[in-house]
Amino acid sequence: MAGRRVSFASMAADPVVDAPGVDAANDAPVAKWIPTASCLPNPRNPRDELGDLSDLASIKDRQLQSCLAVTPAAYLRLWPEDRQTLGAGPQDVIVVNGNRRRAAAELYGREKLLVVVDDSVAESKATLLRAALDENMARKDFDPIEEANAVLLIVAQYPTAKEAAEAEGWSQSWISHRKNLLKLHPELQRQVRAKARGEEGISINVARRLGSVKGVEEMSLAGQTAELEQLLQADADVVAAKRAARLEAKAAAKDTSPAVPAPQPAVTPAPTVQPVAEAAPPVAEPMAPAAPRPEPVPQAPLASAEPASGTDRFSAENSEPLPMPEQREKPAAAAPQAGLGNVDWHDVEELADAICRTLSADEAYRLADALANRLLTTSS
């Protein structure tokens, strides 16, 4: 659960004053200018190290955000054992939020800090610890081990982890994940911190899973390292299995895909009827009187929209042995009658008449069948 940093100066109900404490009339926290030397660091700060303070060097000239503090009396009610260590005077305050700002002001020579003193933050150990935790959790450099220590310290203030989760708005699994980090050997915790800083180390997810191994707390560094290697190997095996499954699925899909048909030998297309520019009327050929004209072969009705076989299509090969119009001899002088070349192809009646004049009845029937098959094939 990440905290949200707020400006505690906005919490002040009255103008800034020069003396610590609260406004007696309104019993509300107020912002005060307090000497930097009188602002003591929080002994219960969840941060082990304050890190590089160069990003706060501008505090020497201006303070952009106030600090939150409590009086020594409020703090010592919770931890009286810290009295000697704290060494606080009557004018001092304990900084709860803003310890990096306090340290930067001390480092860069700022004389006074704007501080909101609010003893209600010290209502209990849990409330004071949570106030310190929330600001630090909003920082990107707050490493997971520091967070885990702070969370478990807050949980310890409640009778059970369940009550702590309900009071602080956390889930019990969220608490357990942080508790698992603290079960690791300090060397492995160091590697977790390094990874969080972007260096080589152990990811938080792997570290939490390692901490959930039964009996891991009693293991030595070597034992935990061995468990870590097994965990990483198991992860690698899962990744390899998933990759192999994807490759197998691709291969199976490729095998079941339709096979590409083998190339067939090229078939010379049948010549189509081309319009003749100046077609001459057909020349009547002498026919033997004893040889009657064969009757047209009846055509089977179309059963489906499938194209007809090659032998049923109209072509020079399966037509009557009469020559095609373009193959017939032309007289030296073209007759004035109109052939296919002079027909208006958009006039269906004229085109039909020209075809009947040019083709035999059998040829006309075959052409009609071929056109019907072509239309059915195209429409399908």
Q: Give the integer Cα–Cα distance in Å for 173 and 212.
A: 11
Four-point Cα dihedral 280, 281, 283, 288, nearest 10: 160
- pLDDT recorded at residue 207: 93
Structure confidence at residue 332 as a pLDDT band (50, 70, 90): very low
Instruction: Give CA angle at 129 (201, 86), nearest 5°.
Output: 105
Look at residue 237 and tell me whether its pLDDT is greater than 80.
yes
Structure confidence at residue 85 as a pLDDT band (50, 70, 90): confident
Angle between helices 348-358 and 361-379 (to 10 degrees): 130
The pLDDT of 55-81, averaged and rounded, is 92
Higher pLDDT, 378 or 369: 369
Token pair listed for 59: 């505090």
Predicted confidence (pLDDT) per residue in 145-162, tens digit: 988 988 998 999 999 989
Predicted confidence (pLDDT) per residue in 9-47, tens digit: 444 443 444 444 444 445 567 789 999 999 999 998 888
- pLDDT recorded at residue 19: 42
Place of tokens 């929330």: 134
Percent of the chain past pLDDT 70, that is, above it, reads 66
DSSP 251: H
The pLDDT of 113-117, averaged and rounded, is 94
- pLDDT recorded at residue 206: 93
| Cross-strand bridge partners of residue 68 | 97, 116
Structure confidence at residue 339 as a pLDDT band (50, 70, 90): low
Which residue, among 169, 134, 174, 160, has the nearest Cα to 45 in the 3D structure? 134
Look at residue 178 and tell me whether its pLDDT is greater than 60.
yes
Structure confidence at residue 226 as a pLDDT band (50, 70, 90): very high
- pLDDT recorded at residue 260: 58
Least confident of 36-40, 173-177, 362-366: 362-366
Predicted confidence (pLDDT) per residue in 285-316, tens digit: 445 445 555 555 555 444 444 444 444 444 44
Structure confidence at residue 55 as a pLDDT band (50, 70, 90): confident
Look at residue 333 and tell me whether its pLDDT is greater than 50.
no
Token pair listed for 338: 């109109």
pTM: 0.48
If you average pLDDT over every residue of the chain, what do you get? Answer: 76
Place of tokens 């926290």: 29
